[in-house]
Structure 1
Amino acid sequence: MARHFNQKLKLLTLQALLLERSDEEHPLTTEELRAALAERGIAAERKSLYDDMETLSRFGLDIHQRRGRGGGWFVGERLFQLPELKLLVDAVQSCKFITPDKSRALIRKLEGLSSVYQARQLQRQVYVTGRAKTMNESVYYTIDQLHTALSTGRQVSFRYFEYNVAKEKVFRRAGAHYRVSPYGLIWDSENYYLAGFDHDKGEIRHYRVDKMDGLTVLSQPREGEGTGRAFDAAAYGQKHFGMFGGREGQVRLRCEKSLVGVVLDRFGAESILIPDGEDHFTVTVPVVVSPQFLGWIFGLGTGVELTGPDWAVEAYRRQLEQVGERYR
């Protein structure tokens, strides 16, 4: 009876062995497969393994047999190829909003999608200048709940905090819960943000996901001006530099032609560039004028000139004067 039960596990065990222990560089011989099955109490005749391989192949597993010396059975095409897994591992390792522990757990799972030999190539360390991982362990699950709220059109509630110099949480609004109708998640400046309608403030705002605490999906349906239309998360994130707030407007920039790529990278290929003389062009773009936007202009030096509107030019002039005063 036990032998019959083990025989039912034979095909599943063979599939697991091939996925875990074989690849193009490391085929498994028939005798190696028989020995591995025997360790698990499963008897296998040589001829029956050929039938099993045919069955697994018809089921969809990409099995190959290399004949001759050094040959054997191996899995070719997988759900994820090794270069794809390397890309995913690099993304997880370098992602700021995922904690170190969660990064390691995710990478171990990704390693399970390859052979044990390929997994060694996935044990890599990606270093990104200035990168620091979040300290909020619950952010991974917060994002999942936000996706649930977005897909079901429901409000969410959470507390929002900052860190003090002692790395302790300090809650905003005296610890009161925020009530928000979520419109979309935005990835910007290496952080995840929720954009939505803040019911207490009566306007669209955004919040860093890793600074949310105790998020709950409420039973109330989503409300606010973004409920009845498609919310353009890309456009919202594009005009908020570093996701900082400020006065919004159509700003005019006069740029050197060498900065065409910089402007298109920042504002999109649909931006209208108007030639202005032999060496310059102008562009008008929707922007939230914040210190971060003005800092972006300053970082481009004399290559970019902010020409309008007047209130934006004046804001830039004031910031330059205030910073200059600090260094006199």
Structure 2
Amino acid sequence: MRKNGLIPVYILKILSQTDASHRLTQKDLLQLLHEKYDVKISRGTLGSYLHELRQAHYVSGERGIYRNRDLSDEEIRIVIDSVLFGHLLPQDQAKALIGKLQSLGSLALERKVRAIHELPDINHNNNEHLYEIMEALDEAIENHKRVRITSCRYGIDKQLHETSTRIVDPYYIVSDLSRFYLICHNDGSDDLGNRRLDRMAKVEILEEGCVSIRTLSSYAHGFDLGDYMREHIYMFAGESETCQLKIVKDHIGDFIDWYGTSFHVMEEDEEYVLISAKINTQALYYWVLQYGEMVEVLSPLSLREKVKAGLMRMLARYQA
């Protein structure tokens, strides 16, 4: 291809880090085309190229040209921060992705996030096969195929080691608390399970088709992913039950932060509120331990007794 045929591409590359607040003049563009790509054109020819790019909504501006963007710097920054401070990806992959995200923004964004490279190592997961695992699971879900998962876990040497294999029916990949999980049906079970992707060593797609989620007794009438995620904080598996909680009124926001607003207020006074909500009891057990001073489990009785027994065991350790 002749170099002149690439001039629109060169212009867009030069404008890649501009925005409405950081523009380039036509004089700047002519100079940079010559310096970077050894291209010499007249101001009139450049004007014709810019007119075509404006018509196609790639660039804007008359007295100063800038590249139109699908994402604002603020939106890109949110994604960068979620990658940087989350635990979804291994550190090298996280840094590479952040670099790609930065290239989508303006020079102003690059200056804002420059401190990223000066931060100490952040605790990211150590599974270098995460992309491969996610790709295999996506393919299996799309084609309704079962998978054989080889699990792994950390040893005292701080390395991941393979532990066991299991055949599951994969349904959804979700993110919760900066971790990726697979919502799946374990072979031989009548309920759903949740498996962390970074605790998978490898995934093999099988020829056998998946069991429909509607064949599970708890989801015979359908499955709502939003309800499932709200009821299963910490991604514990198992069925949900209607639970009654007595919460210090000033801390109802802590409950909403985790479980949302799908609860019913049964009673309230100046200090406490009594609520009812459908929640996974295993997850609620650990949530109650986390917020123990401001919440009391009233029902189910089995959960109340489990919390009481757990607190007694904890107290015994500190009194020993």
TM-score by length of 1: 0.84
CA contact (8 A) 1:186 1:233 kept: no
Aligned pair in 2 of structure 1 residues 271, 48: CA closer, same or farther (>3 Å)? Answer: same
Partner residue in 2 for 1:186 = 174
1:140 has 2:131 as partner: yes
CA contact (8 A) 2:57 2:68 kept: no
Matches within 5 A, 1:166-185: 166-173=157-164, 177-185=165-173
Q: CA deviation at 1:93?
A: 0.7
Matches within 5 A, 1:1-328: 5-20=2-17, 22-39=18-35, 40-66=37-63, 73-75=64-66, 77-125=68-116, 132-173=123-164, 177-201=165-189, 203-226=191-214, 230-245=222-237, 248-290=240-282, 293-328=284-319
Q: CA deviation at 1:247?
A: 7.4
CA RMSD of aligned residues (A): 2.8
Unmatched runs of 5 consecutive residues or more in structure 1: 67-72
Unmatched runs of 5 consecutive residues or more in structure 2: none
Q: CA deviation at 1:112?
A: 1.7
CA contact (8 A) 2:16 2:67 kept: no
CA contact (8 A) 1:249 1:287 kept: yes
> For structure 1, which segment, 215-224 or 191-200, has the greater mean C-alpha deviation from structure 2 after superposition?
215-224
How far, CA to CA, are the matches of 1:170 and 1:26 in structure 2?
50
Give the letter for the 2:267 counterpart.
P
How far, CA to CA, are the matches of 1:310 and 1:163 in structure 2?
36
CA contact (8 A) 1:273 1:282 kept: yes
Q: CA deviation at 1:252?
A: 1.5
Q: CA deviation at 1:118?
A: 3.5
> For structure 1, which segment, 28-37 or 209-218, has the greater mean C-alpha deviation from structure 2 after superposition?
28-37
Q: Secondary structure at the match of 1:137?
A: coil
How far, CA to CA, are the matches of 1:247 and 1:233 in structure 2?
14
Aligned pair in 2 of structure 1 residues 123, 222: CA closer, same or farther (>3 Å)? Answer: farther
Q: CA deviation at 1:160?
A: 0.7
How far, CA to CA, are the matches of 1:266 and 1:188 in structure 2?
11
CA contact (8 A) 1:257 1:280 kept: yes
CA distances 1:26-72 after superposition (whole Å, capped 9, x unpaired): 43333332233234232201211111111111121232132xxxxxx
Aligned pair in 2 of structure 1 residues 127, 253: CA closer, same or farther (>3 Å)? Answer: farther
- Taking only the aligned residue pairs, the percentage that are identical comes to 21
CA contact (8 A) 1:255 1:280 kept: yes
Q: Secondary structure at the match of 1:11?
A: helix
Aligned pair in 2 of structure 1 residues 126, 96: CA closer, same or farther (>3 Å)? Answer: farther
How far, CA to CA, are the matches of 1:289 and 1:277 in structure 2?
26
Aligned pair count reads 313
How far, CA to CA, are the matches of 1:302 and 1:38 in structure 2?
69
> Following superposition, which runs of at least 4 residues in structure 1 exceed 6 angstroms of deviation?
none
How far, CA to CA, are the matches of 1:113 and 1:186 in structure 2?
25
Q: CA deviation at 1:138?
A: 1.5
Q: CA deviation at 1:201?
A: 4.5
How far, CA to CA, are the matches of 1:118 and 1:299 in structure 2?
38
Q: CA deviation at 1:279?
A: 3.2
CA distances 1:56-93 after superposition (whole Å, capped 9, x unpaired): 11121232132xxxxxx321531111111111111111
How far, CA to CA, are the matches of 1:283 and 1:25 in structure 2?
50
> For structure 1, which segment, 209-218 or 225-234, has the greater mean C-alpha deviation from structure 2 after superposition?
225-234
TM-score by length of 2: 0.86
How far, CA to CA, are the matches of 2:285 and 2:122 in structure 1?
23
Q: CA deviation at 1:230?
A: 4.5
